[in-house]
Structure 1
Amino acid sequence: MTLHQSARPQQSAELLGIGLSTLWRFAKERPDFPRPRKLSPRVTVFIVAELLAWRDAQVKEAA
């Protein structure tokens, strides 16, 4: 997976090491979490580079 790719929700959750329901909860409740993009009525993706940047920021905040 390259940084310029998008990932479906299940792939995004696996990338972050969280469950699918947690991914959707973060998207709904956390203002700092990357926003999902609707490509069509039945296709939603997240941008991989945004997810990785968010993950890295969480590690820095915890340190």
Structure 2
Amino acid sequence: MTFIATNARLIKVGQVAEILGIGTSTVWKYSKQNAGFPQPLSISARNTRWRLSDVEKFVDAKADSIH
């Protein structure tokens, strides 16, 4: 069994979409097709979450690549 650090904030697909300014279907598409995109964690059969820290790192990396 894998344990997640208690200080790791987990967010839903809608929150990921809002942070990135894209739709939820695009979040799912990118998570399957884009190797650099943050990968979701399967909490249960019907619950998936992303680490907020992973999403923030992704945003920072994209911002750095623009400059």
TM band (smaller chain): 0.7 to 0.9
The alignment partner of 1:18 has SS state of coil
Residue 12 of structure 2 is matched in structure 1 by 8
Of all paired residues, the percent bearing the same amino acid is: 31
- Which runs of at least 4 in structure 1 moved beyond 4 Å after TM superposition? none
Q: TM-score, normalised by structure 1?
A: 0.88
Question: Which segments of 5 or more consecutive residues in structure 2 lack a partner in the other structure?
Answer: 1-6
Residue 56 of structure 1 is matched in structure 2 by 60
The size of the alignment, in residue pairs, is 61
User: Quick one: which amino acid aligns to residue 36 of structure 2?
Assistant: D
Structure 1 Cα separation of the partners of residues 63 and 33 of structure 2: 19
Q: Which has the higher contact order (CA 8 A, sep 6+)?
A: 1
* Superposed CA offset, 1:3-47 (max 9, x none): 830001111111221111111111011101111000000100000
Cα RMSD between the aligned structures?
1.3
Q: TM-score, normalised by structure 2?
A: 0.83
* 1:12-51 correspondence to structure 2 within 5 Å: 12-51=16-55
